[in-house]
């Protein structure tokens, strides 16, 4: 159910996660925001050739086990064969099915240059950082940020940024509505939506789009 809230609650969400309970994929507990226009300023996280004729948009949650598996297996081969070779533009868009996924995104986005490196750390072992009380999970995320080269001050500032939390959720809701995203990982390849795939199926789709 959608709920409204105040900036004070936003600040609490950003800092220690008070305000939302964890939900199952497709059952977002985040409210809709009046200030959704701010989400236009959210930076897209892109790999590969920005001018490629094939664009892949991945929708993934940092608390999604299937997303982690895709990141650790299929994506590595896609990166080697299609991203690093300049054949495709790959866009990673965060999905927030729960507060911990939002917090993880806020840490990953602290420094856009470190985004994909932090993403790898987050997906490497979700259970290692996303288990326990909210305060412990926030501390786990701070440790991941420091491992990636962020300072304590940077991580704390990002986790406490209530305006960014609002903008990110509004951005996520807009993306999910545009592409009808209800499960992760989901992919939009040149405007066509696909569910999770193994490498063989994914590469077949990419080759068809590339005309190879």
Residue by residue, DSSP assigns 24-70 as -TT---PPP-TTGGGGGGPPPEEEE-TT-SEEEEEEE-TT-HHHHHH
Enter the pTM of the model.
0.83
Of all helices (H) and strands (E), which one includes residue 91?
strand 88-94
Angle at 207 between CA 201 and CA 210, to 5 degrees: 145
Four-residue CA torsion sign, 122, 123, 127, 133: positive
Of all helices (H) and strands (E), which one includes residue 94?
strand 88-94
Q: 38-204 in CATH: which number?
A: 3.40.30.10
pLDDT of 134 > 70? The answer is: yes
Task: For residue 14, give the DSSP letter.
Answer: H
Report pLDDT digits (tens) over 33-73: 434 444 557 899 999 999 999 999 999 999 999 999 999 99
Backbone angles phi, psi at 61, to 5 degrees: -110, 140
């Amino acid at each position: 159910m959608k709920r409204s809230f105040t900036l004070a609650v936003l600040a609490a969400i950003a800092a220690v996660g008070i305000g939302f309970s964890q939900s199952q994929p497709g059952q977002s507990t985040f409210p809709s925001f009046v200030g959704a226009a701010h989400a236009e300023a959210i930076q897209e996280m892109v790999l590969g050739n920005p001018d490629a004729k094939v664009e892949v948009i991945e929708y993934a949650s940092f608390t999604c086990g299937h997303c982690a598996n895709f990141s650790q297996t299929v994506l590595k081969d896609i990166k080697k064969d299609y991203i690093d070779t300049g054949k495709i533009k790959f866009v990673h868009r965060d999905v927030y099915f729960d507060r911990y996924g939002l917090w993880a995104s806020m840490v990953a986005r602290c420094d856009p240059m470190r985004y994909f490196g932090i993403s790898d750390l987050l997906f490497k072992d979700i259970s290692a950082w996303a288990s326990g009380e909210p305060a412990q999970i926030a501390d786990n995320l701070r440790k991941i940020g420091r491992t990636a080269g962020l300072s304590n001050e940077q991580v704390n500032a990002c986790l406490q940024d209530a305006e960014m939390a609002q903008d990110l959720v509004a951005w996520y809701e807009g993306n999910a509505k545009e592409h009808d995203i209800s499960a992760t990982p989901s992919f939009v390849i040149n405007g066509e939506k696909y569910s999770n795939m193994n490498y063989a199926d994914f590469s077949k789709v990419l080759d068809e789009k590339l005309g190879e």
